[in-house]
Structure 1
Amino acid sequence: MSPQGSQGPRVRQLRLVVEAEDYDAALTFFRDVLGMPEELAYRGDDDERVAILDAGRATLELANPLHRRVVDQLETGSGEGPAIRLALEVDDAATVTADLLRAGAAGIAPPTPTPWRSLNARVAGPAGLTVTVFQELETTAERRRREGSGTDPGPGDPAQA
């Protein structure tokens, strides 16, 4: 069971920290092309720089190796992919993918429908990040009614035996 006090969850924000060798290219890609608003930026001595960009609602998607391979196969036609990638929900996966390609991202896979009713595309972005842009084609409530969806009670749950 997760520790939650009377105030709710203990974690208030997920912040993924990425070192970008070409900081300006990464900032342009995520802030200007993807439109992630800059919440805060800092400049220090010797051109030390950081920008905190708003990515909307953050979630941590934990996948076992088999699921990662299944998603890689669906999105790219290959079961090979990175253990960590960014997945960003967008309103129009085809348009955003085209914008990212025009901005210099390398295409890995075009927008592809998935069995769980999303449209996923994959690009190689700056800072060595593989980025999936996905467009939901149904609501979370609709998805939860599908076979195999819902919540995972975890090991030790009698339903898992």
Structure 2
Amino acid sequence: MKITVKELRLILTVDNLDELIHFYRDTVGLETSKEWHEETGNGIILDAGRASLELIDSKHAARIDQIEVGERVSGPVRLALRVTERIPEATETLIEWGATSVAPPTTAPWSDVARVQAPDGMQITLFATSTLEDK
């Protein structure tokens, strides 16, 4: 027997919620699905459209880091966002709004890519094409 998953959600607990809402909603362009402000805490759910869970072993993570950055730098969680803009322009936009460059745009075997670090420390790979596009 198996279950049926209707949504994949990555949950980040952060100390600078307002800054990151601005970054992910207003700069990255994720749309608000739900937002709450309560005595027990604040939060927001941002819709990323299509989500996927990529599971890789540490050997493959090291290979990806080597191709995208030149050395092993990512932790156990990294976001990857397929963007419609050209990778250099998308990278510059995120940097203008608080991200820092981890590695400049490059061409990987699977796509044009760039790696940035969001204000919360999350590493983000921007990519142009996906094997999921035609599915």
Q: How well do the aligned residues superpose, as a CA RMSD in angstroms?
A: 1.9
Offset of residue 44 of structure 1: 0.1
Alpha-carbon distance between aligned partners in 1 of 2:88 and 2:49, rounded to the nearest angstrom: 20
**Structure 1: gaps of 5 or more residues:** 5-9, 143-161
Offset of residue 111 of structure 1: 1.3
Q: Secondary structure in 2 aligned to 1:123?
A: strand
Residue of structure 2 equivalent to 1:89: 82
Mapping of 1:6-155 within 5 angstroms?
A: 10-45=4-39, 48-92=41-85, 93-116=87-110, 118-136=111-129, 140=131
Share of identical aligned residues, percent? 37
Offset of residue 64 of structure 1: 1.2
Q: Which has the higher helix share?
A: 1
With normalisation by structure 1, the TM-score equals 0.76
Alpha-carbon distance between aligned partners in 1 of 2:132 and 2:100, rounded to the nearest angstrom: 34
Offset of residue 79 of structure 1: 2.6
**Structure 2: gaps of 5 or more residues:** none
Alpha-carbon distance between aligned partners in 2 of 1:85 and 1:30, rounded to the nearest angstrom: 14
List structure 1 runs of 4+ shifted beyond 2 angstroms: 139-142
With normalisation by structure 2, the TM-score equals 0.90
Alpha-carbon distance between aligned partners in 1 of 2:79 and 2:51, rounded to the nearest angstrom: 11
* Structure ID, larger Rg: 1
Q: How many residues align structurally?
A: 132
